[in-house]
Amino acid sequence: MSVLVEIVAGVREDLAAREATTPLADVRAALADVDAPRDPMPAFRGPGSSVIAEVKRKSPSKGDLAEITDPAGLASAYQRGGAAAISVLTEQRRFNGSLDDLRAVRAAVETPILRKDFIVTSYQLVEARAAGADMALLIVAALDDDDLRRLHDEARELGLTVLVEVHDEPETERAVALGAELIGVNARNLKTLAVDNDTFGRLAPLVPDDRVLVAESGISGPDDVERFVREGAQVVLVGEALVRDGDAEAAVRAMTGVE
C-alpha cells in the first residue's frame, strides 16, 4: 500500500467522525459568517516569484519539523515577509495539523490562506471555506477524473481558488484537461515520499503558458527558487525551510521577487 493510500484512508476515518458530530448543513450555515474569499491570483501572476509560506509542524518523510505553538504568530511573520499566500496543513495524523490552526491564522492575517489537506469530499471544501480558507488543494493522484472535476467545480462555486497538484506526466495532462488555472508540481512522490528535484523542469513544458505554475518541495533557499523560476515557476510553496529557519520573516523575503 502506498503512503498516499494510507494517508487518505486515515483522512476518511477522521472525516467520518467530524461528519457524525457536525452535519454538512451545519457547516454550510457557518458560511454566512465568513468574509468574502481573497483572490491570490493577481499576486501570483505579478512580476518575480511569489511565495506560499506553509505552517507545517510535521511530515511523513521527516517527522517532527518544528514545535509551532503559535501558528498565528508564524503566519504574521510570513505576512510581514511578503508571502503572497499562507498554506496551513490541517491533516492531523501525519502532519499534526487542524482546522483550529487555520482559524487562528485567518484571525491574524489578511493574506489569502490555502487549506493544505487530502481533500476527497465536498464536506472538506465547505469546512475549508467556513474556517476562512481562500484556497483549497486537490491532489490529482488521490482522485479519479469524475471526483477531481466535481470537487474542482464545487470549490470554485464556493469561491475557493484551487491548487491542483501533480507529480508526473499523466497527472499533469489530467490537470491541464481539467482547465486548472493554478497547477502545483510536487517534487515529492506521495506514493514513496522520494524527492526528485528534476520533476518540475520535466513537467513544466506540458503546461500551457496561460496557467500559473507552483513549484512544491525541495526548496531550501533563494538558489532553489531561482532555479525553479528559470524553469517556469511563478510561485513556490515552502514549508520545512521556513519553519526551521530562525527568522521566518527574513526567509520569506529572501525568496520573494526572484526573477
Instruction: Identify which of 95, 97, 86, 165 has the alpha carbon closest to the alpha carbon of residue 133.
Output: 86
Q: Which residues are catalytic?
A: 54, 56, 116, 165, 186, 216-217
- For the chain, what is the largest distance between any 2 Cα atoms, rounded to a whole number of angstroms? 48
Stretch (H or E) spanning 122: helix 122-130
**Other beta carbons less than 10 A from residue 157's beta carbon:** 9
Contact 237, 215 (CB under 8 A): yes
Look at strands 235-238 and 212-216 and give their pairing: parallel
Give long-range contacts, CB 8 A cutoff, 24+ apart: 175-180: 175/140, 175/207, 176/206, 176/207, 176/208, 176/211, 178/148, 178/149, 178/152, 180/152, 180/211
